[in-house]
Amino acid sequence: MVDVILGLQWGDEGKGKIVDFFAKDYDLIARFQGGPNAGHTLYVGEKKIVLHQIPSGIFHEEKINLIGNGVVLDVVTLKKECASVAAFGVDVRKNLYVSERTHLILPTHRALDKASELSKGDQKIGSTLKGIGPAYMDKTGRNGLRVGDILHPNFKEQYANLKSKHQQLLDNFNFQEDISEWEKDFFDGVEFLKTLNIVNGEYFINQKIKEGKKVLAEGAQGSMLDVDFGTFPFVTSSNTISAGVCSGLGIPPQKIKDIIGITKAYCTRVGSGPFPTELLDETGDFLRNTGNEFGSTTGRPRRCGWIDLVALQFACMINGVTKIVMTKTDILDALTELKVCDKYIVDGVEKSEIPFQMNHADIKASYRIFDGWNMDSSTITSFDNMPDTMKNYIQYINNFLNVPVKYISNGPGREQIVCS
């Protein structure tokens, strides 16, 4: 049996804490897509740690963690990340596994990412410049190198051939970058990767399922950044939705049971692209500062706005969401008035659907207004103890989406989750 946890907005919904919360009920936690641009923040005791590629179940020592074939892997980041995890007393060699079909991010992928973004001028996508897009392009172009290749005697020859192809592209961009230090770190990372458990991921995970083990599939980014269904072209380079679980781990669809979608009680976005409910005022600043809305990977300030139920309903539909976790409700504590977008006005016409090309349409958010709860909600431990204004806000969202909001996260701590 496989359950899925994924983001329903533009990422940064707090997936790390939620996976960590649920991990105790599962035997295996697996990342199925994305790269090191993901930043899943967890608190171990009072200490904060951000995971970029390692599944968020790593701090449950008895659990197995798998980096699936749908991920693109930065071995330099992985080595640093493993060192950070080891500082908490976790031996990653015991419970971290990596699929041999996982594609590698090369130093030249990072250079290509930078060259491509610079060439766009004012039309930048907002890439994190981690080399993720170029690595996925090599995957679909059948040029990429995979984790299993590092065990082959001619790996360095394969690397040199691909580097040469990349150099031709960089020459076309008229872009120069000294990658000698990046390469040194890369090959150090490759040697470290060889010390981990490299497995045939699809046989590995299907055998665990056959044995009756419970699997939790963890996504990165959010549904509105999906390469097919997100706000294209301002998207990531992989399928962030539930369909990506099957291709990203090698499991059949009928093995999937629950799809747990995560949304903030408001909305954020990093980088460029459409954002109908964005607040460019004091309320937006309040959400950003109170919610500490700065990228856990890049440190970039996040754009903030009211919750968008048109986009959220779309995300629930394409994912087949069965239950919702709402995070950061406590950030709204001090606001006397809350707004919920439940319709778009697209080119002057009321709509309840996501337009084909959001950045080509004039979209204005239509809002329903709610009273705020004006109290410290971070100490609430049961749904019954919530103020009526908070219940009304959550219940409206629950009814609009026709998917139950089953969990409400009201603080960063592991224990700060209320079941409805």
Active site residues: 12, 40
CA distance 116 to 213: 43
Task: Tell me the sheet residues that pair with 169.
Answer: none
Residue 239 tokens read as 């399928």
For 57, phi and psi rounded to 5 degrees? -95, 5
Which amino acid does the sequence have at 24?
K
Asked if 171 and 61 count as a contact pair (C-beta separation under 8 A), the reply is: no
CA distance 79 to 36: 12
Cα-to-chain-centroid distance, residue 246: 17
Name the region of 159 (left: φ>0; alpha: ψ -120 to 50; beta: rest): alpha
Count of Cβ atoms closer than 10 Å to residue 207 Cβ = 12
Residue 236 tokens read as 């990531």
CA distance 206 to 72: 21
Residue 124 tokens read as 């930048």
Beta strands in 296-336 (DSSP E): 303-305, 307-308, 323-327
Nearest to 151 by CA among 112, 184, 191, 181: 191
Nearest to 50 by CA among 70, 36, 71, 68: 36
CA distance 44 to 61: 13
Residue 77 tokens read as 């980041």
Whole-angstrom CA distances from 338 to 368, 371, 392 are: 8, 6, 11
Alpha helical stretches, state H, 272-387: 282-290, 309-319
Residue 246 tokens read as 């099957």
CA distance 94 to 249: 20
